[in-house]
Structure 1
Amino acid sequence: MDRIKISGGNELRGIIPISGAKNAALPLMIASLLTSDTLTLENVPHLADVEGLMRILGNHGVDIAVNGRRERQEDGYSRTIHFTCRTIADTTAPYELVSKMRASFWVIGPLLAREGRARVSLPGGCAIGTRPVDLFLEGLAALGAEIEIDGGYVNATAPKGGLIGNHYRFPKVSVGATHVMMMAATLANGTTVIENAAREPEVVDLANCLNAMGAKVSGAGSKTITIEGVTSLSGARHRVLPDRIETGTYAMAVAMTGGDVTLEGTDGALLENALDTLRQAGAEITETPSGLRVVRNGNGIQPVDVVTEPFPGFPTDLQAQFMALMTRSSGVSHITETIFENRFMHVQELARLGARISLSGQMARVEGVSRLKGAPVMATDLRASVSLVIAGLAAEGETIVNRVYHLDRGFERLEEKLTRCGAVVQRVSE
């Protein structure tokens, strides 16, 4: 099992290319199940989750062609992948595949819409809360699907004439459930209106791709999305948007260590709230023709209170990274997690580096310290793992992050990107 070894204390200076967004690429790949034509996606990141989903899609009959070689471009490594599903070979998504990645459960929407049936294992993924699939199933049931859970599998069947458009309001905002219901509704009979829909940029990206495929989706990015069902979708070519979580992560790494880094190929409009919070903490962030420039001002890291919220609020996927930054602030900050109930598992690992953090329910009180000291730490999930890297970059001595397979799920070439900017980071294989 690989580990990452970090020798802290170096400022970051240089250019970091931002990859395509994992959280956009996954639903876009799943949308290929909706058509018998070829869906071509550009700027697809090379990540463990992407590779895992390709195996799952292959199981359903999707033919996948990756461009022959990965070539360095101005915006870093970029892959173009062609997905063609002439026929659905299997409407079952088995436990041994779905249990490894929660997003793979989302195939239930396209399978149900195109084939009228789906048998999908209940999902796995990061251990950051229960994250039930009730919202997904209620949304599909509103389109007329009959749902049964048996033996750890969800069995879904559409009415004889196909799914039926309907007006449905989610009781709670869910990005995944919005993705699934939106994809399913594209081939439903009639018009579907989704209220209290997720507003994340990744939802907008999926809607744009579906429209390029011939769907009629409007309102994405607002609380109400309208989908007029069509009889079939065609192929399309679509570029995955930049990863806003990777952007925020590296911006926080620069704020933590000091230095001057340009984040290339990204768009600040994708995470305005997080960037505003970083500015309050002491980072200078300016737009450039190629992306964003991040510099820490001379006043050190200032304490800032944050509350995670659905977009456009502060992202839960940046909470752990921001907590790492606050461990070196000049005062006390409070971080409240409202999305996932178990997303503070990185706290005890940050404490091993000398952080002073106390928990009270869903709020963490972080008292900034003058220094962190390197130590062996254990990654517990994707975002927690990179928070330990950020802390290790500023810690004295050597930090070893174990279980880095979590990192490989969501951060493309992390060691290389940091090393190119002056960090001393090394992957070590046991």
Structure 2
Amino acid sequence: MTSLDQDSQKSAARVGLTSDTLRIHGGKPLRGRIEVRGAKNLVTKAMVAALLGDSPSTLKGVPEISDVHVVKGLLEAHGVRVDASEPGVLQLDPTNVVSAHFAEINAHAGSSRIPILFCGPLLHQLGEAFIPDLGGCKIGDRPIDFHLDALRALGATVEKLDDGIHLTAPNGLTGAHIELPFPSVGATEQVLLSAVRARGTTELKNAAIEPEIMDLIAILQKMGAIISVEPNRVIVIEGVEKLRGYLHTAIFDRNEAASWAAAALATGGDITVGGAEQQELMTFLNVYRKVGGEFDVLEDGIRFWHPGGPLAPVQIETDVHPGFMTDWQQPMVVALTQADGVSVVHETVYENRFGFTDALNEMGAHIVVHKDGIASITRRVPRRKLEQAAVVTGPTPLHAADVRVPDLRGGFSHLIAALAADGSSTISNVGIIARGYELFLDKLAQLGAEYEVVAPSA
């Protein structure tokens, strides 16, 4: 059994799935309403932020996803009391934080990359931190050098060991001037979580400014932090001696919302995503409209539907916020297989995010991946090292196939393809999807999808 298989089974078990294999009976439009809750990319970081307080925190809008269970286990291993008795709400009490044993950290972390963000809070609380080898979705190297360089700049001593990384800061952290080579979301979160209690002022240049980053800043400000977001991707953090707990409702998951929108387009369906908001999806909505999808912004969500007729090809360039998110391109590619003409998707954020297209081609799609990218005079996003491009020619009818989920977003894209395809597909390793999509089987049922949970060997 591979590590991916093991991760899938663990993720499935964490959210109560009895198997990590599905049989999807496709060819039926998805119709109905589903709800999205807090963003995976905010909730897990907000849970870590609770470590910084000297009193309990309350986080609302928490989704039932595997990654939340991973962080819950890591927090509990460090002595944080986590009360999850109320659905969608976490009470986090960090008043008895202790150093966790390597085996406990490793057992809970699995392939998650979340442990790297524990470093700053643990250095403030304990003077040391340990993180095991990091995993995560296999979509590129995603090096942690940005994180480690930032921690060194703030005064941490970093020691790389055979089984992980040990960090110490016996004299505490000190503010610094830091400039990221790329506006990395994870590295920006690292600096925020590490600098808020450092002595002095930290200036972070070339910072990420995603909505989830802004929501994390809002949480830290509630805790007592002093953080200024200035023009040109500059964030200034004035360190404070202590922080208190917070009460916060997480921003909605715009990646999940966009994924269901793409599913409506690919299956010829009509899906209302409750909890979705226009402001954080404006770039996605523009592309959705160019392709030929329709949407209606409601008071409590957004309705997405296929209006009939042919879809139009588009050119997409992924980019950091406020650009088109890399997490949006994978589900959108499935819809583009049904567009009338040639679409080009330039992936500029991760260097290996088109691996999911192999399965789509097996299902009848016509997608050619250019591993060195494609230059174009119409490009708006500057070319970047290791970027790739996918040329999607459509429309191509999709047919059933046996597919193994490779990563979170690619896995949901395979799910969409199977729902749009003619015939019955078997999708294995769907536990990976449970890392970031709350109760996705229940939501499929609400939308009228036909599927069966089957044994992995079936």
Shorter-normalised TM-score: what interval?
Answer: over 0.9
Q: Give 1:29 deviation, angstroms.
A: 0.5
Matching residue of 1:76: none
Matching residue of 1:74: none
Matching residue of 1:148: 159
Matching residue of 2:211: 201
| Secondary structure of residue in 1 paired with 2:218 | helix
The match for 1:391 among 417, 433, 443 is: 417
Gaps of 5+ in 1: 71-78
8 Å contact kept, 1:305–1:335: yes
8 Å contact kept, 1:92–1:118: no
8 Å contact kept, 1:126–1:381: yes
The match for 2:51 among 33, 37, 48 is: 33
Q: Give 1:159 deviation, angstroms.
A: 5.4
State the Cα RMSD in Å.
1.6
8 Å contact kept, 1:203–1:221: no
- Aligned CA distance change for structure 1 residues 224 and 155 (closer, same or farther; 3 Å): same
8 Å contact kept, 2:42–2:215: yes
Q: Give 1:96 deviation, angstroms.
A: 3.7
| Secondary structure of residue in 2 paired with 1:219 | strand
Once residues 385 and 220 of structure 1 are traced to their aligned partners in structure 2, the CA distance between those partners, rounded to angstroms, is 37
Gaps of 5+ in 2: 1-18, 372-387
Q: Give 1:15 deviation, angstroms.
A: 1.0
Matching residue of 2:451: 425
Once residues 45 and 396 of structure 2 are traced to their aligned partners in structure 1, the CA distance between those partners, rounded to angstroms, is 42
Matching residue of 1:173: 183
Matching residue of 1:121: 132
Q: Does 1:86 align with 2:104?
A: no
The match for 1:135 among 143, 146, 151 is: 146
Letter paired with 2:41? N
Once residues 46 and 149 of structure 1 are traced to their aligned partners in structure 2, the CA distance between those partners, rounded to angstroms, is 34
Once residues 70 and 243 of structure 2 are traced to their aligned partners in structure 1, the CA distance between those partners, rounded to angstroms, is 25
Q: Give 1:231 deviation, angstroms.
A: 0.6
Matching residue of 2:36: 18
Q: Say which structure is richer in strand.
A: 1
The match for 1:296 among 299, 306, 310 is: 306
| Secondary structure of residue in 2 paired with 1:44 | coil
Q: Deviations over 1:216-248 (max 9, x none)?
A: 112189611111111111111111110000000
Matching residue of 2:258: 248
Matching residue of 2:122: 111
Letter paired with 2:241? T
Once residues 133 and 384 of structure 1 are traced to their aligned partners in structure 2, the CA distance between those partners, rounded to angstroms, is 22
8 Å contact kept, 1:415–1:426: no
TM value normalised by structure 1:
0.94
Once residues 249 and 272 of structure 1 are traced to their aligned partners in structure 2, the CA distance between those partners, rounded to angstroms, is 15
Once residues 302 and 230 of structure 2 are traced to their aligned partners in structure 1, the CA distance between those partners, rounded to angstroms, is 25
8 Å contact kept, 1:207–1:220: no
8 Å contact kept, 2:263–2:269: no
Matching residue of 2:65: 47
Letter paired with 2:133? L
Letter paired with 2:169? A
Q: Which segment drifts farther, 144-153 or 25-34?
A: 144-153
Alignment of 1:203-282 (within 5 A): 203-219=213-229, 223-282=233-292
Q: Which segment drifts farther, 244-253 or 325-334?
A: 325-334
Matching residue of 2:8: none
Once residues 285 and 247 of structure 1 are traced to their aligned partners in structure 2, the CA distance between those partners, rounded to angstroms, is 12
Once residues 262 and 208 of structure 1 are traced to their aligned partners in structure 2, the CA distance between those partners, rounded to angstroms, is 28
Q: Which segment drifts farther, 338-347 or 86-95?
A: 86-95
Q: Deviations over 1:80-130 (max 9, x none)?
A: 010111132115663343342012221112111332221222311111111
Matching residue of 1:75: none
8 Å contact kept, 1:200–1:221: no
- Aligned CA distance change for structure 1 residues 59 and 221 (closer, same or farther; 3 Å): farther
| Secondary structure of residue in 1 paired with 2:308 | coil
Once residues 426 and 237 of structure 1 are traced to their aligned partners in structure 2, the CA distance between those partners, rounded to angstroms, is 40
- Aligned CA distance change for structure 1 residues 143 and 149 (closer, same or farther; 3 Å): same
- Aligned CA distance change for structure 1 residues 396 and 47 (closer, same or farther; 3 Å): same
8 Å contact kept, 1:198–1:221: no
| Secondary structure of residue in 1 paired with 2:61 | strand
Once residues 220 and 179 of structure 1 are traced to their aligned partners in structure 2, the CA distance between those partners, rounded to angstroms, is 16
Matching residue of 1:335: 345
Q: Give 1:372 deviation, angstroms.
A: 0.7
Letter paired with 2:438? E
Once residues 363 and 344 of structure 2 are traced to their aligned partners in structure 1, the CA distance between those partners, rounded to angstroms, is 19
| Secondary structure of residue in 1 paired with 2:216 | helix
| Secondary structure of residue in 1 paired with 2:122 | helix
8 Å contact kept, 2:337–2:365: yes
| Secondary structure of residue in 1 paired with 2:345 | strand
Matching residue of 2:7: none
Q: Which segment drifts farther, 202-211 or 218-227?
A: 218-227
Q: Which segment drifts farther, 43-52 or 1-10?
A: 1-10
Alignment of 1:346-365 (within 5 A): 346-361=356-371, 362-365=388-391
Once residues 428 and 30 of structure 1 are traced to their aligned partners in structure 2, the CA distance between those partners, rounded to angstroms, is 36
Letter paired with 1:407? I
Percent identity reads 37
Count of matched residue positions in the alignment of Structure 1 and Structure 2: 420
Q: Does 1:319 align with 2:314?
A: no
Q: Which segment drifts farther, 227-236 or 6-15?
A: 6-15
Letter paired with 1:86? T
Q: Give 1:153 deviation, angstroms.
A: 2.0
Matching residue of 1:73: none
Q: Give 1:260 deviation, angstroms.
A: 2.4
